[in-house]
Amino acid sequence: MEPDADRFAKANEYRARAMKTVSFGVSSTPRGRQQPAPIVADFARGAHVWDNAGNRYIDYSAGYGPLILGHSPACVIDAVKAELDRGLRTASVHAGEAALAELVCETLPSAQKCAFVSSGSEAIQLALRVARAATGRTRIVKFRGHYHGWLDTIHAAGSVGNDGPSTIGQDPAALESLTIIDWGDIDALRTALTAEHAAVILEPIAVNGGCFMPREGFIEEVRRLTAERGIALIFDEVITGYRLSLGGAQAVLGVTPDISVIGKAMGAGLPIGAVVGSDAFMEPVSTGRLLHRGTFNGNPLSVAASIACISHLSDNAGEIYPRIDAMTAQLQEYVRQSAARHGVACAVNRTGSAMQIALGLTEMTTFADTAKADFARTQRFAGKLLSRGIQIIGRGLLYMTDAHGDDDIAETMSVFDEAFAQEAAEQG
Ligand SMILES: Cc1ncc(COP(=O)(O)O)c(C=O)c1O
């Protein structure tokens, strides 16, 4: 299918209007960088989204991860509609909270107590507070390339060569309690840990860093070291929770942290996050000694969506996870071969149903390798896919959902092939 030159005319028209009153024309900066233009989502069903000009896209952005069941899973939509009929009841205690916590405790190995918030970034802040309160210490170990939300105390070391703030406007002093080290470097961790460390926080499977599995034995050794020294081990499972398996990355790796942070997929598209952990580590928040605040925490709509989503995943885990993983593996293999056939250097990594493409290199196995990838070119390549009806996250990340089917995969493969052909022609 040849790209249609006018496809983005209405998107550009909207952007020009929005730029007058909405900062950067979007509600989160990366959305504004979509190439060739940020599409305006008008309607979505299953694996597909339609823009304001009626163009259909097969969607692998999956709402930046949450839409594990696709755009409009009947079980979630029905649960939210039923909840709407009961009134919004924002900031009330309601029975859904315990029902959701029970489901989380049944499914996530590290969960004995849950504390709900409204986003992953908030949950990370609460997890750090809980770890500090439980240990009476302050410092936090963070790994390069791992992303733990956009708030000032942790938004650092997201790109190679910059351990400082990730954006202008951040308070550099807020990062003073971080110790930043390389992912996978167990010797650096052993040396870095002191009696001042409250926690080690990490993405157990580094999806943001480029979709890498941890080096063999690394997570086990981090678990051993932190337990030995009374330091909280925090798994940031905002992406991997309910995406990699029903029990998250911790079930896949067989390592149980003290505290886990979940968000995204647990809410199937509605805003929710949670800090969960052992009774011992959650004690400060479970007893009310530690302040856990937030008007929208545990709001009935998000909780209803989450109960419906986790129940559905729980009932169908044996079918859903192997299927979406297999579809992603099939796509990964095809994309690798297609890039090679066209002579385009493109690394294609995968962890479960998350897949990262990066142009400019053929292998990307460590975060340091990401410095050699050409992310501007990857972003333009994502634009070539978008022009042909495939939406991925601009920096080259794709998420498979339970709504994708064989027809979607077949269409996606042929679009990748055309886009690589164009890429090859351009590189000459
Ligand atoms: C691993 C990880 N942690 C935390 C966050 C922050 O979550 P949120 O965007 O819901 O604030 C994200 C978001 O992408 C993430 O990928």
- Domains belonging to the chain, first-starting first, are 9-71+319-427 (3.90.1150.10), 74-313 (3.40.640.10)
Which atom of ligand 1 is closest in space to residue 263's alpha carbon? 10
Give the pLDDT of residue 31.
96
CA of 148 from ligand 1 middle (Å) equals 6
- Cα of 124 from ligand 1 centre, angstroms: 9
Whole-number mean pLDDT of the chain?
A: 97
Angle at 169 between CA 165 and CA 170, to 5 degrees: 40
pLDDT, position 87: 96
Percent of the chain with pLDDT over 70: 99
Q: 284 CB less than 6 Å from ligand 1?
A: no
- Categorize the per-residue pLDDT at 428 as very low, low, confident or very high, splitting at 50, 70 and 90: confident
Gap between the Cα atoms of 336 and 345, Å rounded: 9
pLDDT of 2 strictly over 80: no
Ligand 1 mean position, distance from CA 239 (Å): 7
Give the pLDDT band (50/70/90) at residue 1. Answer: low
Per-residue pLDDT of 95-149, as tens digits, reads 999 999 999 999 999 999 999 999 999 999 999 999 999 999 999 999 999 999 9
Q: For residue 316, is pLDDT > 60?
A: yes
Residue 290 pLDDT = 98
Catalytic residues: 147, 236, 264
pLDDT (tens digit per residue) in 44-78: 999 999 999 999 999 999 999 999 999 999 999 99
Calculate mean pLDDT across residues 294-305: 98
Q: Which candidate, 309, 307, 300, 298, places its Cα nearest to that of 114?
A: 298
Q: Is 119 in the pocket of ligand 1 (CB under 6 A)?
A: yes
DSSP class of residue 214 equals P
Integer Cα distance of 149 and 363 in angstroms: 27
Kindly state the tokens that stand for 303.
């909780």
Cα dist from 141 to 107, 196, 199, 289, 314, whole Å: 27, 11, 6, 25, 33
Which distant-in-sequence residues (6+ apart) come within 8 Å of 288 by Cβ?
none
Q: How far apart are CA 27 and CA 63, in angstroms?
A: 13
Structure tokens at 353: 């149903």
- Specify the higher pLDDT residue, 198 or 161: 198
Q: What is the pTM of this model?
A: 0.98
